[in-house]
Amino acid sequence: MIFARVIGTVVAAQKDENLNGKKLLLCKEVDHQGKPLSTYHVAVDAVQAGEGNMVLLSYGSSARMTDLTRNAPIDAVIMAIVDDVHVQTVKPSKKATA
């Protein structure tokens, strides 16, 4: 999954019928600290995310694994709203020699 921030909405009247009743949100990819990256994504909202929220996006067939999105022709879903990201000071364990 990747981090993104909800920054807008997409309006589309003419669309596949399986998209009816689904909110299409414009998301800007961010890093784990919430800093904006350059990529934009359009995703269906499955967790009632609001604008400004930092969220997690799931891509591909996994995007259809929510009650809302099953069988819809969509390839990206917002499946969690991020509250906090805890980063530890990295001290590698388990060796990986080469």
User: C-alpha 12: how far from its chain's center?
Assistant: 19
Contact between 23 and a copy of itself per CB under 8 A: no
Please give the structure tokens belonging to residue 95.
């060796």
User: What's the rounded Cα separation, in Å, for the pair 38 and 24?
Assistant: 19
Residues 30-49 that bind a copy of itself (CB under 8 A): 31-34, 36, 40-43, 46-49
Tell me the sheet residues that pair with 21: none
The label of the residue with tokens 């934009």 reads 40
Binding residues for a copy of itself, total number by CB under 8 A? 74
Which residues, other chains included, contact 27 with Cβ-Cβ below 8 Å and sequence gap of 6+? Answer: 4, 5, 6, 7, 40, 41, 42, 43, 55, 57, 78
Distance of closest approach, residue 25 Cβ to a copy of itself, in angstroms: 10
Spell out, one character per residue from 53 to 82, where the chain touches a copy of itself: x when CB under 8 A holds, - when not: xx-x-xxxxxxxxx--x-xxxxxxx-xxxx
Q: Is the CB of 12 or the CB of 21 nearer to a copy of itself?
A: 12
Distance of closest approach, residue 50 Cβ to a copy of itself, in angstroms: 7
Residues 2-21 that bind a copy of itself (CB under 8 A): 2-3, 5, 7-16, 18-19
